[in-house]
């Protein structure tokens, strides 16, 4: 068995051996002995292992920085057809539920357009998010949807007044 370990380590690069050396606590005693023998054969010392560990940490930090900069957390790269159909189905169910409500529970007509825009936007956001099952996501979606509803309502009322003023 140790001969297999020696052969396995001898085929590895110096970087791979140094990586194994940083993870030596996971190795068996025979694997550690074979790794130490290969490191001695290649004249790789403890300082080489420490340098490699520092280099690996720097690389990991660089990758994390570029990942944070360019990737939107919780955003899928692409929606599948199933996701799109589910989003439309969800919008249809919400719309149907609103229509079948008794008239006394309906919004004022000037709020309905704003509510429709917010419903569409919220459903699209929910289906684009990877973490849509987490409670924090739903709380933040509810808060942002409420704010958006108020903004869209004010905007639609204002543009309606502008349209009336231009016509008159």
Pull the structure tokens for residue 142.
């509810």
Domain coverage including residue 146: 81-167
Q: Is 75 helix (H, G, I), strand (E, B) or coil?
A: strand
**Inside any domain, residue 75:** no
| Residue 75, beta-bridge partner list | 129
Does residue 91 sit within a domain?
yes
Q: Are residues 62 and 111 in the same domain?
A: no
Task: Give domain status of residue 76, yes or no.
Answer: no
98 and 23 both lie in a single domain: no
pLDDT at residue number 72: 45
Compute the mean pLDDT over every residue in the chain, rounded to the nearest whole number.
Answer: 76
Model-level pTM greater than 0.75?
A: no
Q: Mind listing the pLDDT tens digit for each residue in 98-122? A: 888 888 778 787 778 888 888 888 8
141 with 104, same domain: the answer is yes
The answer for residues whose C-beta is within 8 angstroms of residue 69's C-beta and 6 or more apart is none
Same-domain status, 64 and 85: no
For the chain, what is the domain count? 2
Residues 55 and 26 in one domain: yes
The reply to whether 132 falls in a domain is yes
Segment 138-146 mean pLDDT = 79
């Amino acid at each position: 068995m140790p001969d297999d370990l020696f052969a396995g380590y001898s085929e590895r690069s110096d970087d791979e051996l140094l990586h194994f050396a940083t993870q030596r606590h996971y190795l068996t005693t025979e694997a550690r002995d074979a790794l130490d023998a290969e490191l001695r054969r290649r004249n790789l010392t403890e300082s080489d292992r420490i340098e490699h560990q520092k280099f690996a940490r720097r690389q990991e930090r660089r990758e994390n920085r570029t990942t944070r900069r360019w990737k939107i957390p919780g955003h899928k790269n692409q929606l599948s057809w199933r996701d799109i159909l589910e989003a439309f189905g969800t919008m249809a169910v919400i719309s149907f539920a609103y229509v079948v409500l008794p008239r006394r529970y309906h919004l004022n007509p000037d709020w309905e357009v704003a509510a429709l825009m917010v419903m569409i936007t919220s459903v699209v956001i929910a289906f684009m998010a990877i973490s849509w099952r987490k409670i924090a996501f739903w709380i933040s979606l509810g808060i942002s949807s409420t704010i958006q509803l108020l903004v869209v309502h004010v905007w639609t009322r204002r543009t309606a007044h502008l349209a009336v003023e231009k016509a008159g």
